[in-house]
Amino acid sequence: MGETSEGMTDDVYSNGSIQNSNGSLEEKLDELRCLMGKSEGDPLRIVGVGAGAWGSVFAAMLQDSYGHLREKVLIRIWRRPGRSVDKATAEHLFEVINSREEVLRRLIRRCAYLKYVEARLGDRTLFADEILKDGFCLNMIDTPLCPLKVVTNLQEAVWDADIVVNGLPSTETLQVFEEISRYWKERITMPVIISLAKGVEAELGTEPRIITPTQMIYRATGVPLENILYLGGPNIASEIYNKEYANARICGSAKWRKPLAKFLRQPHFTVWDNGDLVTHEVMGGLKNVYAIGAGMVADLTKESATSKAVYFAHCTSEMVFITHLLAENPEKLAGPLLADTYVTLLKGRNAWYGQKLAGGEVNLDMGDNIKGKGMIQGVSAVKAFYELLSQSCLSVLHPEENKPVAPAELCPILKKLYKILILRDFPPDAILQAMREESMNDPRDRIEIAQSHAFYRPSLLGQQP
C-alpha cells in the first residue's frame, strides 16, 4: 500500500497500474452528488465562469474525467461573446490542428475543420467562444483541449448551477458576480463556489485591507462563506491538461474542501486541502508580483543562474516578511508559498510578461491584458500590495533606524516594481539596480527581522486584533 496526500492510499498492481482506493470516478461523483442532495435523474451542474487558460483547463479536466456520465453531471463554461480571433492567430491555430492527428480527425468528424481552413485564408472570422467549443482556448492555443459546452448568456449559464468555478481575474470578479447575484435571488439553496483567481485588490480607508476574490464573491452574492473555496497551485495550466504531474491545494471549510479535493484528485493531479482560505489566497496573488521581476531579471542577465538565484532570495525574503504581517503563524505557509512562487517564477505568464517587457517585445502602454496570454494579474497586484503596505497606520518599527516606517519600506523589490510598472519612473533594468544597491541587506537579515519582531497586522485581512 502506498501513502499519498491526506491519507489517500493506492494499490499498485504487478502491471504497474494504480487503482485509487478513493474509488472509481463514478463513485466519487455519486458521493459528491449525495452530499449536495441531488436526486436520481437530476444531474449535478458544474459551471466555469471565465475562460482564461486556467479556467478553461479546469473545465476541460472535469469534462475529460466525468463528461461521459451525462445523466449524473453536466459541465459547461461561460465566456463573453464577440471576441474575434485575428488572422495571425487563426493561422497559428491551423498549424497546431494539422500537427495533431487526433485533433485533426476530431474536427473532421465534427465537420468543423473547414472553418479553420477558411479562417487561415482570411475568408472567415473565428470567435473565441466558437473555438472554445472545439477545444481551443485563445490564451493557450498550443494546448488543444477537449470540446466544451460553451454558454455566452451568463444567466443561462449560472441560474441553476450547483458548483460555480470562478476563472475570472480579480479585477473582473466583483462586477460579474454582482450580475450573477441577480439571477440567484429566487434560489432556495446556495451553490458551492470554487475560485481560481490569483489577484487581490486593496481597499484603502480607515482600516486598509486586502480584498480577495472570495471576499468579493461573498460581498456580491451573499453566498455563505463556508460555500466559497479557493483552489491554487503550485501548477501550470497546460501541464495539468497534458497530464504531467501537477499539484493543487483547495482551501475553505471542511464541509466542502475535503469532498471536493477527493472529487478533483486524479493520478496526475494531486489535490491537498487546507482550512486557511484567505491567507493562501492572498499568497497566491503575492507570488505574481515577484514573478514579473523574475522575468525581467532573466531577460536582462541572459538567464544568469546567479542573478536569478539572488533575485529569488530577495523576493522570497520579502514574501516571508509580508506573511508575518498577514498571518499569526506564517511558518505554516512556507512550503506551499515557496513551491507556488518557484513554479510561477519558472514558467508563469507573469514571468513571461516580465521577460517580454525587459526585452522590449511588450510595453506598459499595451495594458495588462495581453493577446495570447490574457490578464497579467501581477501588475494590479503590485499596485495593491505596495499601496496597502505604504499606509502609515500600518507602520512597523525599523530594526536598524529604530523608528516607525510603513511596511513597504522594508520591501525594496516591491517598491522598485511599483516605480517601474505603476509610476513608470524607471525602465525595467532598474530591477537590477535595486539588487545591486549597497543598502540592500542580505535577504537572511530580513527573514530574521520578520521572525524576531511582532509585525502581525490582522486588520490587513479584515480580522480583529
Condensed to tens digits (0 to 9), the pLDDT of residues 376-422 reads 889 999 999 999 999 988 888 887 778 888 999 989 999 999 999 99
Residue 144 within a domain: no
| Domain shared by 299 and 187, yes or no | no
Residue 434 resides in a domain: yes
Residues 6 or more apart from 50 whose CB is under 8 A from it? 78, 79, 166, 167, 168, 169, 172, 176
Residues 71/42, Cβ–Cβ less than 8 Å: no
Q: Is 72 found in the same domain as 200?
A: yes
Q: What CATH number did the domain enclosing 396 receive?
A: 1.10.1040.10
How many domains is the chain built from?
3
Of the listed ranges 195-204, 311-320, 434-443, the least confidently predicted one is 434-443
Residue 181 lies in a domain: yes
**Given 222, 250, 275, which residue is the final one in a domain?**
275
pLDDT on residue 396? 84
What is the per-residue pLDDT across 85-112, written as a single tens digit (0 to 9) for each?
A: 999 999 999 999 999 999 999 999 999 9
**pLDDT recorded at residue 20:** 44
Catalytic residue annotation: 287
Strands 269-274, 246-251: pairing kind: parallel
CATH of the domain at 14: 3.40.50.720
Q: What is the pTM of this model?
A: 0.87
Domain that holds residue 63: 2-82+149-275
Is the pLDDT assigned to residue 303 strictly greater than 90?
yes
Residue 146 has pLDDT above 70, yes or no: yes
Given 250, 275, 300, the domain boundary residue is 275
- If asked whether residues 345 and 419 sit together in one domain, one would say yes
What pLDDT is recorded for position 326? 82
Q: What is the pLDDT of residue 333?
A: 61
Residue 3 CA to residue 286 CA, distance in Å, equals 32
CA distance 226 to 338: 27
Residue ending a domain, choose from 133, 168, 202 = 133
Q: Give domain status of residue 463, yes or no.
A: no
Residue 462 lies in a domain: no
Query: What is the average pLDDT value for the chain, to the nearest integer?
Result: 88
pLDDT, tens digit (0-9, with 9 covering 90-100), for 237-295: 888 888 888 889 999 999 999 999 999 998 899 999 988 888 788 888 888 999 999 99
